[in-house]
Amino acid sequence: MSQEHSPHRIDRRVATTYIGLGLAACLSGRVQAQTAGVWRIENIAGTGVAGSQGEKGPALGAQLDNPFGVVRGPDGDIWFCEYTGQRVRKIHSDGTLETIVGTGQKGYSGDRGAALEATMNLPHEIRFDSAGDLYIVDMQNHAIRKVELATMRITTIAGTGSPGYSGDGGPAIEAQFKQPHSIQFGPEGDLYVCDIGNHVIRRIDIKTQRISTYAGTGVPGPTPDGAPLSATALNGPRSIDFDHQGDLWLATREGNQVFRIDRKQGRYEHVAGTGQSGLAGDGGPAKLAKLKGPKGIALDNQGGVWLADTESHCVRRIDTSTGLIERIAGTGIQGDGPIGEPLECKLSRLHGIYVDRDGSILIGDSQAHRIRRLYREK
C-alpha cells in the first residue's frame, strides 16, 4: 500500500505555470482519479545529468544523482533519496527542489544532530510512519535511520553499523543487518525490512523496538508456491509493500519473482516470474513471465501490482484479477526518454516506484537521474 497509512494536511498551493496543469496537480497532491485514458509519461525533476546543482530552484532544471526510493510525504510534497548523492530531497508543490537530509558526502555521522549535517552511505529507500516522521534505509551503513520532522534531528533506530545477522529478540539498535534495501510499515504500524544480504525479512516492533526475523531462513534458496513462512528460503528479498487486505507483497532480486504473503495463513503465493532472468511474457500469465532483477514494488487500489523491473529498464504491471502482466513504460533498452508515449520512453535502471494518491505512478529513474510520472491522459 504505497499511499501512507494516515491522512495529513496537504499543501495545496497552485504550482507555477511552467510545469503545466497536470504536473501542477501532481506536485500539489490534489486527488484526481486515474481510472481512464491513455498512459503518458512526463519528467518532474532532473535534467538527465548527474550532480547537485539547482538547489532551491525549479526541480526540472536541477541535477539529481541516482534517485532511488520516491514517496508522497505527509506534507503533500514528493520526497526521494539519492543513492550516490547521499541525500534525501523533496519537490515542493511550487515545483522547487530542496535537500532535507544529508551533506552529500558519504559517511556515517550526525546522529542526534541536524539531519542536514548528517552523512549517509548509499541510501536506498524512504518511508513515513503514521506520525509523519521519515525513515531511511542507510544501506551500506547496515542501518535504519529516522528523522523527526518536528525537530529535523536524525537518529539510528536499528542496526549497529556493522554487517552481520544477529540480534533477534532484542533491541533493534543492537541488531545487525547486511545491506538492508527496502522498508515498509505494516497495517499494525510495525516496520518490515528487506535484509537482502541475509536473505530474510525482519520486523521491528515499533512499540517495543525489538526485532525478529519474519520470513526467510538466512540462506538463499527457492520459495515454492504455497510454502509456509517458517523454514522456507528466500532468494534476494529486495522490495516490499502491503495491500489493503494487510498482506505483504515481495519482489525477489536474484529470484526474479513476485510473491504475496498471506499473513493470516502464513504462506507464500507465487504471483509472477518463472525464476529465469529476462524480459518476456508481457500480455500473458504473470507466472510464466520472465523478470530481470526487479527492485521496486507498489500496490494500487485496483488490484494492480507495479514493478520496477530494473535490469529490463521497464515498468510492468500485474493485474491480480486476471493474473496477466503487461509492460507500461520502457522499451527494454537502457536510455533516457523521450517523454510522452511510455512504451517509447527509454528508462535507465529505475529503482523507485510509488502509487500516488490519484493513481499516477512516480518513478525514480535512477541512472537517467530523473523523477518521472506516469499518468492517465483524459
pLDDT of residue 147: 98
The DSSP-derived string for 199-267 is: TEEEEE-TTT-BEEEEE--SSB----TT-BSTT--BS-EEEEEE-TTS-EEEEETTTTEEEEEETTTTE
Bridge-based pairing of strands 78-82 and 324-329 is unpaired
Q: pLDDT tens digits, the chain, 378 residues: what are they?
A: 444 333 222 232 223 333 344 555 567 555 444 456 899 999 999 999 999 999 999 999 999 999 999 999 999 999 999 999 999 999 999 999 999 999 999 999 999 999 999 999 999 999 999 999 999 999 999 999 999 999 999 999 999 999 999 999 999 999 999 999 999 999 999 999 999 999 999 999 999 999 999 999 999 999 999 999 999 999 999 999 999 999 999 999 999 999 999 999 999 999 999 999 999 999 999 999 999 999 999 999 999 999 999 999 999 999 999 999 999 999 999 999 999 999 999 999 999 999 999 999 999 999 999 999 999 997
For residues 20 and 252, what is the distance between their CA atoms, to the nearest angstrom?
37
**Length of the chain (residues):** 378
For residues 241 and 62, what is the distance between their CA atoms, to the nearest angstrom?
30
DSSP run (H or E) holding 39: strand 38-45
**pTM of this structure:** 0.92
For residues 44 and 15, what is the distance between their CA atoms, to the nearest angstrom?
12
pLDDT of residue 5: 35
* Residues facing residue 34 across a β-bridge: none
pLDDT of residue 269: 98
Residue 244 CA: distances (Å) to CA of 35, 175, 263, 285:
18, 30, 12, 23
